[in-house]
Structure 1
Amino acid sequence: MSVSLSPWATDVFGEQAPAVRMFLGQALRNMQANAQAAHEQTNSRTNHTYGTSRWQNQFERVQDELKELPGATPVKPFGFPFELMLVGRGLIYPFLYSKTKADVRKARIPSESQLVKELFTFAPEPKHVQDTFDFGFGGTALAVEPRGGLAALPQGTRLILVPFACNASELLEAHWGIAALGESRRLEWATVPEPLALPQTVTSYGTRLASVPEQTAASERKHTSFAEGSEPTLTLSSRATSDRARDVPPQTEAQPVEDQTSEDDATH
């Protein structure tokens, strides 16, 4: 039996809305299957492998399922290892909101990372304006500017959240909708979060390790000491005369690039 689409879904995705809804459910089913397969392959006593694989798969399997839709475009946020999918006017962001069945209307975003702040510039304004970005400069809040692929998104793009609940044993439920980012990372739903159908059939397992690659015979292996290894190539640059005159210390390492992957969503 077909389920009617809400007006917001048709407004955001157009005629692709039914396909987007169906493929999102399939992507999450594939995500769970791949993560469980990785966990089984390692025979680990912890859920670390499952958690890492699930985090990766929640983005990559969504891309696999949606990439063939007309007009679907991958978007690479600055400093983030995965691409998010833009279909119509909808930028899709899947995330784990619970490891057990829980009321999605009370869900929180896993972390208020820089990525999350940039994504929610495409979401409705919260009812109560947060002072999260107020750094004490005269009480003036600093605006967040999208970077990377997010900076090139067309006007009118809407952030579509896909919160799901799962654990190493099972995929429990999933929803989609539009929400603002409220205080304490709580979501203020602008639409009713609607359940996504989760099919039982898996359409992609990924590649499992079927055999151990052939190893070099012991007699053919040559053990070398540290001194026998190849010398590394070093790139040196001289300091400016003005820096040497002012005793400016030499720079030995490049400044670190801000990382957007430290989300609690990747915990296990």
Structure 2
Amino acid sequence: MLSTWALETFGPRAEQIRHGVAEALALALENAQDAQKTARTDHLHPFGFTLMSRKFEALARTFADMADVEIIKPPGSQHELVVLGGNLLFPFRYAKDRSVSVVNARIGDGRPSGLVQALFSRFGPQPWAEQLALGGVEAALPEPATPAARALTRLPEDTRLVLIAYACNARAGLLDVWWGEAELLDRTGSLHWHHCEEIPLAGALPAGLPLVAPAGQESPFAGGAMPAPELNPRPRHERATALPATGEAPYAPDAAAYEGR
């Protein structure tokens, strides 16, 4: 059963898109596992590098023929980003097993890249609370003007960033997949989810209830209704001060060298 958030975000194609996301990631994981087996090494570099590329390629090919789709390739990146009906899909691995909850998901293991910061500041949801200074460093500084960030300026201002968080490893493959919207809180890649719900995988039981309830619904993890998130796009002057600055860095989709870490 589709959630109100999914229907409001993707419209009548929501079920098709949700299924396509699951299929694309499953294919990417299968390809990465094949690469690891072929390499005949205990090091996970073949798995990680293959997955890092294939997850973007599989999503792009899955939705390439769908109406109202744009595929963008930021300068300096070998990876394509899918913008579907005004929603930019960004996949990232948040865990290698089920010991980490998606609630504690982070974008990579280090400082988010300039592109990732630009994605959140331009297209992420309106923050629920004013950010405070983190570790003595002011959080509200202009976003970095990297070539990858500048490439995003041609997208409409009302584009929405839809995160696709997944857990996987070379042995077990794809463990689970979630999607939703979140704020980027700090330089470590910590997230604050406004909405997060599981995407059912092929052969799996129906997905559970959303972890964060959209407006008008009640969270299954709280006794009362969750505050209604404001998901309308932010004005340009607010986006300009949403994230801390950082020097220009090579583009890494998960803000890490590779996914086999």
Q: TM-score, normalised by structure 1?
A: 0.70
Change (3 A) 1:114 1:140: closer
Find the aligned partners of 2:126 and 2:258 in 1 and give their Cα distance.
Answer: 26
Residues 64 and 140 (structure 1 numbering): CA distance in 2 closer, same or farther, change over 3 Å? closer
Structure 2: gaps (5+ residues): 204-247
Hey, what does 2:206 align to over in structure 1?
Answer: none
Q: How does 1:169-184 map to 2 (within 5 A)?
A: 169-170=171-172, 171-183=174-186, 184=188
The alignment partner of 1:141 has SS state of coil
Identity %: 30
**Relative to 1, partners in 2 of residues 1:135 and 1:190: Cα closer, same or farther, differing over 3 Å?**
closer
In 2, are the aligned partners of 1:95 and 1:265 still within 8 Å (CA)? no
CA shift at 1:52, angstroms?
Answer: 0.7
TM-align CA RMSD: 2.6
Residue 154 (structure 2) aligned to one of 152, 155, 164: 152
How many angstroms does 1:198 deviate by? 1.8
Of residues 46, 49, 58 in structure 2, which corresponds to 1:49?
46
Distance in 1 between the 2:79 and 2:256 partners?
Answer: 16
Structure 1 segments, 4+ long, off by >6 Å, are none
Distance 1:75 1:96 in 2: 21
Report SS of the residue matched to 2:83. strand
Q: Secondary structure at the match of 2:163?
A: strand
Distance 1:176 1:264 in 2: 20
C-alpha change, 1:135 and 1:173, in structure 2 (3 Å) is: closer
Contiguous gaps of at least 5 residues in structure 1:
201-256
Write the distance in 1 (CA, Å) between the matches of 2:80 and 2:194.
25
Equivalent AA in structure 2 for residue 119 of structure 1: L
For residues 48 and 160 of structure 1, do their structure 2 counterparts lie closer, same or farther at Cα, with a shift above 3 Å needed?
Answer: same
Task: Give, in whole Å, the separation in 1 of the partners of 2:143 and 2:44.
Answer: 38
Residue 109 of structure 1 aligns to a residue in which SS?
Answer: coil
Q: 1:54 to 1:94 in 2, by over 3 A?
A: same
Q: CA deviation at 1:258?
A: 4.9
- SS of residue matched to 2:177: strand
Distance in 2 separating the partners of 1:19 and 1:67? 13
- Residue in 1 aligned with 2:80? 83
Aligned ranges 1:212-227 → 2 under 5 Å? none
Residue in 2 aligned with 1:109?
107
Cα deviations across residues 91-115 of structure 1 (Å, max 9, x unaligned)?
0000000001121011111141111
Cα distance change, pair 56–14 in 1 and its aligned pair in 2 (3 A): same
SS of the residue 1:24 aligns to: helix
SS of the residue corresponding to residue 28 of structure 2 reads helix
Deviation at 1:12, TM superposition (A): 2.4
- In 1: Cα distance, 2:256 partner to 2:15 partner: 31
- In 2 relative to 1, CA 50–152 (structure 1 residues): closer, same or farther, beyond 3 Å? same
Equivalent in the alignment of 1:226? none
Among candidates 233, 236, 252, match of residue 261 of structure 1: 252
Aligned pair count reads 206
- Separation in structure 1 between the aligned mates of residue 124 and residue 140 of structure 2, nearest angstrom: 21
Q: Which is higher, the Rg of structure 1 or of structure 2? A: 1
Distance 1:77 1:8 in 2: 28
Q: What is the 5 A alignment of 1:200-211?
A: none
Q: Deviations over 1:45-77 (max 9, x none)?
A: 211101111111111111111112111110222
Residue 33 of structure 1 aligns with an amino acid whose one-letter code is E
Alignment of 1:220-235 (within 5 A): none
Report the alpha carbon displacement of residue 143 of structure 1 after superposing the two structures with TM.
3.8
Q: Which amino acid aligns with 1:113?
A: S
1:185 counterpart (181, 184, 189): 189
Contact 1:16–1:69, Cα closer than 8 Å, also in 2: no
